[in-house]
Structure 1
């Protein structure tokens, strides 16, 4: 089970909770590093995710199918609220979300497949890693300097924080983009992620037109490799930064570059 994902989510949430009271009122309106979202909009997004996890809304056929546009919709719904109202929703539902995710680590429900619209299907226990990824990514890469506008400092990210986020990203990689990513992988490709959260995996081509790429643990000896820190992978793997700033390719660049250019984990 992914108890580590739950603990990572708790730690990043606690770090964010310590920062929120220190943010000056005017700073809530500053643009974050997440396109189109202000600082307060990032909190609105996290609050909306927590609220929906605890009290799932009835499906609406008018909702955008694209997951990013759906998140924009939920943030837009909260733009008329005061900063206090947005923060209160996040504070109210986040502990409830963590409690729900803790229950999701228990057997037998931990292995139940859960469809996350627009993102794929995951075992219930891995949903803790989605929260670990979301809070870590938005806090460290969208809100805090140097990429974001808030001047607060946190301890360097540890393996315990980064590894669960990377685990979710690699689980989502074959599912989120479908054929548009599948067609970029013609040969096995090794991703060698270093530093906190370190892991090595091999991305294998789809076996047929109805299959997707697969991600398997370890190095299968593929001739082409991409090396990056795991922390940087959170940034370039979500297209917050260019992979060219962080990745070293060994082998044939023409094998790796189409995949790296197209990858966009939500």
Structure 2
């Protein structure tokens, strides 16, 4: 099971809980590095995710199908809240979310497929990695300097914190953007990530017209390679930073460029 994902989710949550008391009212209102969201809106987003995890709302066909627009909607619903109200929701719902994720590491439910609207289908135990990814991305990339506005420091990210986030990204990669991303991969591409969260996988083209990309461990026989640190991959593959600023390609660059241009992990 993905107990590493659960541990990372708990660690990231603890780090955010340590930052929150240091933020003053003016800083909560600063624009974060997440386009259109203030710093307090980032916490509102995490609070909304936690609340929906522990108390799922009934299906509503009128809600946006696009996951990013859905997140914007949930944040917009909280824009009239005070800072204290947003933080109270996060503090109230997050421990319950973590407890739920811990229970989902146990069989028989751990391997049950769960559809995450707009993002694909995952084994239930991998939802812990989803939370680890969300907290890490927003805290390190959107809230804290140098990319975010908050002048506070945390320890340099470790493998234990980064690897579970990368694992979720690689699980979501074949699913989130559907046939549009699939169409950009005509031959195997090796993705070689270094530093904390290091891994090497091969992205294989779909083998059927309606199939998905496949992400497999190792290098296979692919000659085109994408090189990046795992931390830069998180920033680039979520479109927080231009991938050209941190990725290098060896082999046939024309085979990898369309894939990197289109990649957008949510």
The TM-score, its normalising length taken from structure 2, stands at: 0.99
Q: Which residue of 1 aligns with 2:209?
A: 209
Deviation at 1:40? 0.3
Q: Which residue of 2 aligns with 1:236?
A: 236
RMSD between aligned residues: 0.5
Q: Which residue of 2 aligns with 1:16?
A: 16
Partners of 1:178 and 1:221 lie apart in 2 by 25
Q: Which residue of 2 aligns with 1:245?
A: 245
Q: Which residue of 1 aligns with 2:38?
A: 38
1:211-226 mapped onto 2 (5 Å cutoff): 211-226=211-226
Q: Which residue of 2 aligns with 1:108?
A: 108
Q: Which residue of 2 aligns with 1:7?
A: 7
Deviations 1:104-144 (A, max 9, x none): 00011000000000000000000000000000000000000
Partners of 1:221 and 1:167 lie apart in 2 by 22
1:23-62 mapped onto 2 (5 Å cutoff): 23-62=23-62
Q: Tell me the secondary structure at the aligned position of residue 68 of structure 2.
A: helix
Deviations 1:210-259 (A, max 9, x none): 10111111110211000000011110010000110111100010000000
Q: Tell me the secondary structure at the aligned position of residue 86 of structure 2.
A: helix
Partners of 1:121 and 1:128 lie apart in 2 by 14
Q: Which residue of 1 aligns with 2:120?
A: 120
Q: Which residue of 1 aligns with 2:71?
A: 71
Deviation at 1:208? 1.8
Q: Which residue of 2 aligns with 1:141?
A: 141
Q: Which residue of 1 aligns with 2:167?
A: 167
Partners of 1:143 and 1:158 lie apart in 2 by 18
Mind listing any 5+ residue stretches in structure 2 that lack a counterpart?
none
Q: Which residue of 1 aligns with 2:85?
A: 85
Mind listing any 5+ residue stretches in structure 1 that lack a counterpart?
none
> Mean Cα displacement is larger for which, 206-215 or 93-102?
206-215
Deviations 1:18-52 (A, max 9, x none): 01011011111100000000000000000000000
The aligned length equals 266
